[in-house]
């Protein structure tokens, strides 16, 4: 290209060119670059202060910088041309780009920082394997400095990794707390249930304690806190091994306590709290009491004058399809894009007492196969079975009602976004019956459903992209 047609191309000729150089830059790996003082100073106030401060650096022919040569190449190309194109087609690692981001921050080059953020975003979004190193990178960045765009970007990709697959030790405590804060601010859940999050927090702390004491704290703690699918058998909690943690209980408590503000212990099953977590004596007692009080408040409140029983239902994370996500407050259930068939979740609170029960299901986002109703004890365990063939009492978005392979047209309209389905359950002393309302229109009692058991739970069944909310009756 003829000189004079492009300023950036002409200035590119000056990069590392000894002919026009009046300063040599020596990098941390001993590689040297030729530079022009005036251009360097004009582009960065930090370099201006370094090269024209009247001190000895102003007169020396060589300066030493703490950055590697790959980082320096990025900086120099941007300083001279106003852009970074990786013209040499170097295979730059994420670590080099992050170091370059840090250097751009030091030399007050915000436009270069934006370029690097865009490059990182493109690399991480196009390469699923790269995200596996994000926990270590997040730790490096959080421990090094707290620049929000970079830490937020890395946290975004760490949340895409299942929590159970993040190796213990890859996140420092500071990085782990930042990740929790990021998830809270962006309403992201690190796992499908709060027990899994609690377990990881404790094992993360146990791994750190193992580095400080002679015992294998992590192995012992793992034996006490098994994964959720290992401690539930037919809906019953299996107690952990009787392992003594007393020698490091205090250290564990000290490490997990700051993290527990990000774990909603109240939404962990009462059986798991009582049989698994409380006996470990590592959770502050006031948090355990607060969780128990919350669960007591979920018990039925009887309104005698109306002969109704109002229950503040929440979804049960321990009796839930493996690809369903429950919100932290327990009221919402949504599906992941991996779901191909219907999966179910039932409420945590059983219905056993005589009385009239009513609750609402709000269809915040419908799917092609949505069902609302009740199930008996154990009837929800086969999450992926076809709903027409299941032993539940449900109304579908196609206007059909189904129980025990009997499907009948109920005449109700299709479910749409915002549809409110009210379930009317009469638990009589001798008879029990069920009816539904859709958007305020009540449909008849299903007369042939004379097999409703004495203990039932609210239930929904959905597939992607379904998103439902359960709530008390609101007129």
Chain segment 198-233, per-residue pLDDT in tens? 999 999 999 988 888 777 888 888 888 888 878 876
CB-based contacts of 131: which residues, under 8 Å, 6+ apart?
124, 157, 158, 160, 161
pLDDT band of residue 307 (cuts 50, 70, 90) is low
The domain spans of the chain are 7-127, 191-297, 302-472
So what's the pLDDT on residue 382? 54
Segment (H or E) for 296? helix 285-297
Q: What is the model's pTM?
A: 0.59
42: cis peptide before it, omega within 30°?
no
The SS3 of residue 54 is coil
400 pLDDT exceeds 80?
yes
pLDDT of 211: 84
C-beta neighbour count of 46 within 10 angstroms:
14
Sheet of 32-35: strands edge to edge?
A: 32-35, 23-26, 62-64
- Strand 332-335 to 400-403 pairing: unpaired
Q: What is the mean pLDDT of residues 42-66?
A: 84
pLDDT at 128: 59
**Whole-number average pLDDT of the chain:** 85
Question: Distance between CA 200 and CA 158 in Å, rounded?
Answer: 15
Tokens at 352, concatenated: 């056993």
* Structure confidence at residue 371 as a pLDDT band (50, 70, 90): very high
β-strand partners of 462: 343
Residue 302: per-residue pLDDT: 44
**What pLDDT is recorded for position 448?**
85
Question: How do residues 142-201 score in pLDDT, each as one tens digit?
Answer: 887 667 888 898 888 888 888 888 888 888 889 998 998 998 888 787 887 788 899 999
| CATH number attached to the domain at 7-127 | 3.30.710.10
The pair phi, psi for residue 290, each rounded to 5°, is: -60, -40
- SS3 of 340, please? coil
Which of 389, 395, 391 lies closest to 378, judged by CA?
Answer: 391
SS3 (DSSP) at 276: helix
Q: Is 139 exposed, middle or buried (0-12, 13-18, 19+ CB in 10 A)?
A: buried
Banded pLDDT at 15 (limits 50, 70, 90): confident
What is the rounded CA–CA span in Å between residue 362 and residue 191?
Answer: 24
Enumerate residues 6+ apart whose C-beta is below 8 A from 280. 224, 225, 245, 249
Q: Tell me if 116 sits within 8 A of 101, measured CB to CB.
A: yes
Say what the pLDDT of residue 304 is. Answer: 39
Question: Residue 15: phi, psi to the nearest 5?
Answer: -65, 125
Q: Across the strands, what pairs with 27?
A: none
Q: What are the backbone dihedrals phi and psi of residue 439, each rounded to the nearest 5 degrees, phi first?
A: 50, 45
Task: Select from 184, 171, 165, 166 the least CA-distant residue to 261.
Answer: 184
**Residue 401 pLDDT exceeds 80:** yes
Query: Region 271-300: what's the mean pLDDT?
Result: 84
In order of 51, 60, 215, 289, the CA distances from 56 in angstroms are 9, 6, 55, 66
Q: What is residue 303's predicted lDDT score, i.e. its pLDDT?
A: 42
CATH (residue range 302-472): 2.60.120.920
Tell which wins on pLDDT, 129 or 66.
Answer: 66
Percent of the chain with pLDDT over 90: 33
Q: 117 burial class (0-12, 13-18, 19+ CB within 10 angstroms)?
A: middle
Indicate if the pLDDT at residue 255 is higher than 50: yes
Distance CA 203, CA 217 (A): 9
Closest CA to 356 of 408, 406, 428, 278: 428
pLDDT category at 266 given cuts 50, 70, 90 is confident
* pLDDT of res. 51: 87
Distances 203 to 135, 164, 180 between C-alpha atoms, Å: 16, 10, 16
Nearest alpha carbon to residue 444 among 408, 397, 390: 408
The more confidently predicted of residues 435 and 18 is 435
Lowest-pLDDT range, 75-79, 114-118, 376-380? 376-380
Interval 282-300 mean pLDDT: 82
How far from each other are the two terminal CA atoms of the chain, in whole angstroms? 75
In this structure, of 60-74, 126-140, 361-375, the range with the lowest mean pLDDT score is: 126-140
């Amino acid at each position: 290209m003829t000189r004079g047609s492009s300023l950036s191309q002409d200035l590119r000729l000056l990069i590392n060119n000894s002919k026009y150089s009046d300063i040599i830059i020596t990098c941390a790996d001993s590689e040297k670059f030729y530079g022009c003082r005036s251009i360097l100073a004009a582009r960065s106030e930090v370099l201006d202060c370094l090269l024209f401060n009247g001190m000895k650096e102003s007169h020396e022919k060589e300066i030493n910088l703490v950055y590697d040569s790959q980082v320096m190449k990025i900086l120099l190309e941007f300083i001279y041309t106003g852009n970074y194109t990786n013209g040499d087609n170097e295979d730059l690692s994420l670590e080099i780009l992050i170091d370059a981001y840090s250097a751009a921050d030091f030399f007050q080059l915000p436009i270069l920082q934006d370029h690097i953020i865009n490059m990182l975003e493109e690399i991480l979004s196009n390469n699923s394997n790269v995200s596996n190193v994000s926990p270590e990178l997040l730790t490096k960045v959080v421990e090094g400095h707290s620049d929000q765009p970079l830490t937020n970007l890395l946290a975004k990709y760490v949340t895409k990794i299942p929590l159970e697959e993040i190796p213990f030790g890859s996140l420092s405590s500071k990085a782990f707390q930042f990740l929790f804060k990021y998830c809270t601010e962006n309403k992201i859940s690190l796992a499908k249930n709060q027990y899994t999050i609690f377990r990881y927090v404790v094992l993360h702390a146990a791994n750190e304690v193992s580095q400080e004491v002679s015992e294998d704290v992590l192995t012992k703690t793992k034996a006490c806190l098994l994964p959720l699918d290992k401690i539930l058998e037919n809906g019953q909690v299996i107690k952990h091994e009787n392992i003594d943690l007393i020698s490091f209980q205090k250290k564990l408590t000290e490490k997990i306590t700051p993290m527990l503000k990000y774990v909603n212990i109240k939404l962990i099953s009462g059986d798991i709290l009582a049989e698994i977590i409380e006996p470990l004596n590592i959770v502050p007692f006031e948090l355990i009491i607060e969780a128990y009080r919350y669960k007591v408040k979920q018990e039925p409140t009887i309104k005698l004058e109306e002969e109704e029983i109002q229950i503040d239902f929440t979804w049960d994370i321990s009796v839930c399809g493996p690809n369903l996500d429950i919100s932290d407050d327990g009221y919402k259930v949504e599906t992941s894009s991996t779901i191909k068939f219907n999966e179910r979740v039932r409420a945590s609170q059983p219905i056993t007492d005589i009385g009239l029960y009513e609750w609402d299901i709000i269809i915040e986002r419908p799917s092609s196969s949505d069902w609302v109703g009740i199930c008996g004890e154990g009837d929800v365990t086969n999450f992926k079975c076809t709903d027409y063939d299941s032993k539940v009492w449900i109304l579908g978005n196609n206007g059909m009602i189904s129980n025990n392979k009997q499907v009948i047209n109920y005449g109700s309209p299709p479910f749409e976004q915002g549809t409110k389905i009210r379930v009317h359950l009469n638990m009589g002393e001798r008879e029990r019956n069920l009816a539904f309302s859709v958007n305020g229109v009540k449909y008849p009692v299903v007369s042939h459903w004379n097999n409703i058991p004495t203990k039932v739970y609210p239930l929904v069944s959905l597939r992607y992209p379904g998103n439902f909310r359960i709530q008390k009756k609101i007129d």
